[in-house]
Chains A and B, each alone.
Chain A
Amino acid sequence: MLSINYYLILSAVLFTIGVVGVLTRRNAILIFMCIELMLNSVNLTLVAFSAYLGNVEGQVLVFFVMAVAAAEAAVGLAIVLALFRNHVTVNLDEINILKW
């Protein structure tokens, strides 16, 4: 079996790719996808530790992360839809109604 470092480095790289997307892209839906990427990398870390420690509790935690991710995706996309209905754009740099 591979050393756990391989999985940890893989999820670090995956998380970093998600961070790049959140910081540089301006489409709200793409930012959601990048958040899902980051959640997936964290899940991968949890499962890797769960496997290498022989303890199933990390996988139980992954279930709760998935439940929260599903809730977050549903509510977030509803917000984006409402925003699109009001402003006809989902580019985050054009949405500045809270700024004065």
Chain B
Amino acid sequence: MELTDIIFYIFALVTIGSAMIVVFSRNLVYSAFSLMFTFLGVAGLYVLLLADFLAVTQLMIYVGGILVLMIFGVMLTHRVVNVEISSGAMRVIPATIVVGVFLGTLLLVLTRTKWMVMEGSPDVIGTTSMIGTALVTDYLLPFEVSGVVLLVAIVAAAFMARKR
């Protein structure tokens, strides 16, 4: 077994294990912290896939931004006197059936399909300049539109969350 295989299995284990904790933990704060390890595991997999810039972006946006927002949400939506920050479960049996069928279909399709992939390992060294070039040439309009989307979202979030 090669070294990259071992690294893949380690990151996959971290990602899946902490994702299970996110979903099945009774305590919301544990879920939020466990979500951090899921994001870190996915960032490690990005590095393994030679997407260095995206890995750093993942750390900055998800761990540094969205996760902090989630923890603020947990803190703000529970009464301080209420010590137990927990979250119950419901509809377990129908959900199990739906999810089982869903996962079975996904795995069947994934393993039966012959994917068109490149032969050999890619020799890309650093994707930053390629991503930057793509963003300001072929993808300029989506880039600008996503900026407008973020601006509108910030204004809307501030408007809805303020006290009146």
Q: Is B83 an interface residue (CB 8 A)?
A: no
Judge whether A82 and B160 touch: CB under 8 Å. yes
User: Of A24, A28, A40, A77, which one neighbours B42 at CB under 8 angstroms?
Assistant: A40
Q: Do A54 and B118 touch across chains, with their CB atoms under 8 A apart?
A: yes
Residues of A within 8 A of B72 (CB): 77
Contact with A along B75-86 (1 / 0, CB 8 A): 011010000000
The chain A residue with its CB closest to the CB of B122 is A54
By a CB distance below 8 angstroms, the chain A residues around B31 are: 30, 33
Residues of chain A within 8 A of B130, CB atoms compared: 56
State whether B131 touches A81 (Cβ < 8 A). Answer: no
Report if A17 contacts B (CB, 8 A). Answer: yes
For A17, give its contact among B23, B62, B118 (CB under 8 Å).
Answer: B23
Q: Answer yes or no: A67 CB below 8 A from chain B CBs.
A: yes
B145 and chain A: residue at smallest CB distance: A64
Top 6 A-B residue pairs of the complex, sorted by shortest distance between their CB atoms? A27-B87, A71-B153, A23-B95, A21-B23, A78-B157, A78-B160
